[in-house]
Structure 1
Amino acid sequence: MLRHVVLLTWTDAATGEQVAEIARRLRELPAAIPEIRSYHCGDDLGTNPANADFVVTADFDSVDDYVVYRDHPQHRKVIDELISPILASRLGAQFPLGG
């Protein structure tokens, strides 16, 4: 099993409505992509000033399942249409769970 983690920082022009729509659309992905075992996303709490603005975590049984998610048209649509226009920076990592 592996976990995928993404930290997003928005541009200063990003609005709360845009971010809420991103969260809503991302939360629809588990219903569309059966390879997703667990999926969470949301705004950073703001407790540390250097944190990213938004986080996504997703668990998968295998790297192949992660790749299905990564390349899935519905996921790509959220990235291309909603995230990319307000994205200042992105960090991502995948790591094995239970090892």
Structure 2
Amino acid sequence: MFRHVVLFTWTQEATDEQRARVAAELDKLPGAIAEIRSYILGTDAGVNPGNHQFAVVADFDSVDDYLVYRDHPLHQAVIAEYIKPILASRAAIQFEL
């Protein structure tokens, strides 16, 4: 298994509607990209100050399957249309399970 974890912090100007749209659009990807084995996303609970605001944890059978997801046109469209316009910072890691 191969895991991809990405964390986002939104701009101060990002609206609740924009943030909700990111989640809704990302949530569509498992139904459209067969290589995704597990896909969990969520908003930070706000317990600790300084955290990122949103996370995605995605599992794949292999690095090659992750690369299909990474480069998939639907995934790239979500990034370009919904994430980048409100993105302040991003952190990511990929690792073998």
Q: TM-score per shorter chain, which class?
A: over 0.9
Equivalence for 1:67: 67
Distance 1:34 1:43 in 2: 24
**What residue ranges of structure 1 are gaps of 5+ in the alignment?**
none
- Residue-pair matches, total: 97
How large is the RMSD of aligned CA atoms in angstroms? 0.5
Q: Which ranges of 4 or more aligned residues in structure 1 deviate by more than 2 Å? A: none
Deviation, structure 1 residue 60: 0.3
TM-score (norm 2): 0.98
Matched, 1:43 2:43: yes
Equivalence for 1:82: 82
Matched, 1:12 2:22: no
Deviation, structure 1 residue 42: 1.4
**What residue ranges of structure 2 are gaps of 5+ in the alignment?**
none
Sequence identity (%): 64
TM-score (norm 1): 0.96
Matched, 1:94 2:94: yes
